[in-house]
């Protein structure tokens, strides 16, 4: 007779073989809202197919394998030749192949391109977040390269290709290419104007040789990089290919791979240039202005990446609570657990709704939306990425001890969660960026106020928050010391206005009561008990 102690009971089944896109109501409704009607069916089918793959056992296993087998640096071959290559587990390549095939590097100029690509990025990175780094940078390099039509004509078809081709070879022979970025140096960090890497002009028009050390160079296995260096005319932007047109390797010495808290499937490195050939992108002395287009696009991906991590955290927590029983009933029916889950769901839906509005603004060709993005992107990047870590931590706690075990996948989500707040400019950098826009670009503030004004009169707590925000913005004196406070309020008011316009009443009511009305504690699970929390949780739950 088998020992009854070995019988497994009261454990939630794995959240697997489900459609990540269709099961996410906030995301699927956002796509329906922002894509043109004639594209709706095509985009829905495209994203549902990607969602089923992202929720499959196979994709989830690729994510596990890619993180359990992090990349390895190979500086030399067996004969002593310098090769500076990074070796990845096959699962990493399978994840990248699927991402590229799904068009996650192809948004610019494609009908509804940014909305469908943003939704796909949010869906697919729930399978594994680390490989989203080269996907994001490849996508974001396009607007920077377009400052030089010749470079754009050469590289853009490869960057927007739906073909992933691993390995380093002559660029003209590749059907698809990936891009990375090298901005920061050890003496400067976010203060890129302190960079010391030198760029010396050579005989060819627009050709330079770079000498210097990059402290963070992401995805060093990529085919090309946009980097900043000091040219005779000042800080400038350059394209550095790994392989030159004649098939020889460019000087690109990978000193080491970073040993990171999370994002372990992805290689981040220190790189040394020593007479490294490069092409000028844009004008000398205008490097920040040139590369900022890439930075802005990757900042949106930080918002999307954090929204994806939050969504996956909420999906796992609500799934566990729907199956796990304690003290006589399912956890999901316990009033206190329901409060926690609803609170997490609000944070996730607000992040997703905001991210999709930003993507829709990128698809727009109006001056209004372009001005809106100038403030909304750094404000969203500041706030959404800051909220990711507490959401992941609280969701992990919903699983109790099961969530603390690696097999649950929750520790990987938690380790990944601080990343997007740090990359592409930390919190203070985003807050200062908003401050600069407020001081120098009045059209950006007008566009922002117009956006949030569309919901005025619909909720008294939102109206009060808008009034308080206007009071804060009326006096920009001494703003730097309170910039984080102001940017937080801007992001919350923007999220509240979007939810009031587009989310179900129970979601908008709970968000406005807690985040804008002040009826909220310092931890998740402190929503007013009188709200319709069961409806909020049910909306967020994945049914499998």
Q: Give 491-541 pLDDT, tens digit per residue.
A: 999 999 999 999 999 999 999 999 999 999 999 999 999 999 999 999 999
Residue 4 forms part of a structural domain:
no
57-64 average pLDDT score: 98
- The closest alpha carbon to 385, from 320, 431, 435, 438, belongs to 431
- In this predicted model, what pLDDT tens digit does every residue of 66-99 receive, in sequence order? 999 999 999 999 999 999 999 999 999 999 999 9
Rounded Cα–Cα distance for residues 468 and 215 (Å): 42
Same domain? 190 vs 329 = no
Percent of the chain with pLDDT over 70: 99
CB 480 within 8 A of CB 464: no
CB 161 within 8 A of CB 175: yes
CA within 13 Å, CB half, 287: 28
Least confident window among 129-143, 145-159, 473-487: 473-487
Residue 5 forms part of a structural domain:
no
Same domain? 280 vs 206 = yes
The chain-wide mean pLDDT, for the chain, equals 96
Same domain? 113 vs 245 = yes
Residue 15 forms part of a structural domain:
no
Strand partners, 268: 218
- In this predicted model, what pLDDT tens digit does every residue of 248-264 receive, in sequence order? 999 999 999 999 999 99
Residue 13 forms part of a structural domain:
no
When divided into structural domains, the chain yields a total of 2
Rounded Cα–Cα distance for residues 304 and 212 (Å): 33
Give the dihedral sign, CA 217/223/229/235.
negative
Same domain? 330 vs 418 = yes
Residue 1 is predicted with a pLDDT of 55
CB 222 within 8 A of CB 179: yes
pLDDT beyond 90 at 241 = yes
CB 222 within 8 A of CB 155: no
Q: What is the DSSP-derived secondary structure letter of residue 338?
A: H
CA within 13 Å, CB half, 361: 23
Residue 2 forms part of a structural domain:
no
Same domain? 86 vs 140 = yes
What angle (nearest 5°) sits at the alpha carbon of residue 380, between those of residues 183 and 216?
A: 20
- In this predicted model, what pLDDT tens digit does every residue of 454-468 receive, in sequence order? 999 999 999 999 999
Residue 371 forms part of a structural domain:
yes
Rounded Cα–Cα distance for residues 35 and 356 (Å): 10
CA within 13 Å, CB half, 478: 2
Same domain? 273 vs 324 = no
Same domain? 171 vs 213 = yes
Residue 189 is predicted with a pLDDT of 84
Same domain? 305 vs 276 = no
Residue 441 forms part of a structural domain:
yes
Same domain? 91 vs 105 = yes
Domain boundary residue among 250, 285, 320?
A: 285
Residue 140 is predicted with a pLDDT of 97
Residue 519 forms part of a structural domain:
yes
pLDDT beyond 90 at 191 = no
413-421 average pLDDT score: 98
pLDDT tier, 121 (very low <50, low <70, confident <90, very high otherwise): very high
Rounded Cα–Cα distance for residues 543 and 540 (Å): 10
- Per-residue burial over 10-42, b if 16 or more Cβ lie within 10 Å, else e, is eebeebeebbbbbbbbbbbbbbeebbeeeeeee
Give the structural domain span for 211. 39-285
pLDDT beyond 70 at 3 = no
Residue identified by tokens 């990944």 is: 416
Domain boundary residue among 263, 285, 307?
A: 285
Rounded Cα–Cα distance for residues 313 and 508 (Å): 21
Same domain? 273 vs 221 = yes
Residue 478 is predicted with a pLDDT of 82
Residue 62 is predicted with a pLDDT of 98
Percent of the chain with pLDDT over 90: 94
Same domain? 491 vs 353 = yes
Same domain? 516 vs 479 = yes
Find the CATH number of the domain harbouring 381.
1.20.140.10
Residue 2 is predicted with a pLDDT of 60
From first CA to last CA, the distance across the chain in angstroms is 34
Using alpha carbons, list the distances in angstroms from residue 524 to 332, 341, 393, 416: 15, 8, 10, 20
Domain boundary residue among 285, 305, 328?
A: 285
Rounded Cα–Cα distance for residues 403 and 405 (Å): 5
Find the CATH number of the domain harbouring 114.
2.40.110.20
Least confident window among 87-96, 272-281, 293-302: 293-302
Q: How many CB atoms lie within 10 A of CB 224?
A: 24
């Amino acid at each position: 007779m088998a020992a009854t102690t070995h019988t497994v009971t009261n454990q939630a089944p794995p959240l697997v073989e489900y459609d990540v896109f269709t099961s996410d109501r906030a995301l699927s409704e956002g796509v329906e809202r922002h894509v043109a009607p004639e594209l709706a069916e095509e985009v829905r089918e495209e994203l549902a197919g990607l969602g089923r793959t992202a929720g499959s056992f196979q994709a989830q296993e690729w994510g596990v394998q890619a993180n359990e087998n992090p990349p390895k640096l190979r500086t030399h071959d067996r004969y002593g030749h310098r090769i500076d290559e990074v070796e990845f587990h096959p699962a990493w390549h399978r994840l990248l192949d699927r991402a590229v095939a799904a068009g996650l590097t192809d948004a610019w100029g494609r009908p509804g391109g940014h909305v469908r690509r943003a939704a796909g990025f949010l869906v697919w990175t729930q399978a594994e977040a680390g490989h989203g780094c080269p996907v994001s940078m490849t996508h974001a390099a396009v607007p920077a390269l377009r400052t030089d039509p010749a470079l754009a004509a050469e590289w853009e078809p490869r960057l927007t290709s739906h073909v992933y081709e691993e390995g380093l070879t002559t660029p003209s022979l590749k059907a698809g290419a990936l891009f990375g970025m090298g901005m920061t140096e050890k003496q400067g960090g976010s203060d890129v104007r302190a960079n010391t890497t030198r760029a010396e002009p050579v005989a060819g028009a627009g050709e330079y040789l770079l000498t210097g050390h990059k402290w963070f160079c992401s995805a060093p296995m990529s085919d090309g990089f946009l980097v900043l260096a000091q040219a005779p005319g000042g800080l400038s932007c350059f394209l550095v290919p790994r392989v030159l047109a004649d098939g020889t390797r460019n000087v690109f010495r990978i000193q080491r791979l970073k040993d990171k808290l999370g994002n372990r499937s992805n290689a981040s490195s220190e790189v040394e240039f020593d007479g490294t050939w490069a092409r000028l992108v844009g004008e000398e002395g205008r490097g920040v202005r040139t590369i900022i287009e890439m930075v802005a696009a990757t900042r949106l991906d930080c918002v999307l990446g954090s929204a994806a991590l939050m969504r996956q955290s909420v999906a796992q927590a609500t799934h566990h609570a729907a199956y796990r029983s304690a003290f006589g009933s399912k956890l999901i029916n316990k009033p206190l657990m329901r409060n926690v889950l609803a609170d997490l769901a609000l944070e996730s839906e607000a992040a997703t709704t905001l991210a999709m509005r930003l993507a829709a603004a990128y698809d727009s060709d109006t001056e209004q939306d372009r001005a809106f993005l100038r403030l909304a992107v750094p404000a969203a990047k500041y706030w959404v990425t800051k909220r990711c870590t507490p959401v992941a931590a609280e969701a992990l706690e919903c699983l109790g001890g099961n969530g603390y075990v690696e097999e649950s996948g929750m520790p990987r989500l938690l380790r990944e969660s601080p990343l997007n707040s740090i990359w592409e400019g930390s919190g203070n950098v985003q807050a200062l960026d908003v401050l600069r826009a407020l001081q120098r670009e009045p059209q950006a503030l007008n566009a922002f106020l117009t956006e949030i004004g569309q919901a005025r009169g619909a909720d008294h707590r939102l109206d009060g928050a808008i009034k308080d925000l206007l009071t804060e913005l009326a006096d920009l004196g001494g703003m730097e010391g309170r910039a984080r406070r102001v940017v937080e309020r801007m992001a919350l008011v923007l999220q509240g206005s979007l939810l009031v316009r587009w989310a179900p009443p129970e979601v908008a009511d709970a968000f406005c009561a807690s985040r804008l009305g002040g009826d909220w504690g310092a931890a998740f699970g402190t929503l007013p008990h009188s709200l319709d929390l069961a409806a909020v949780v049910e909306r967020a739950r994945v049914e499998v």
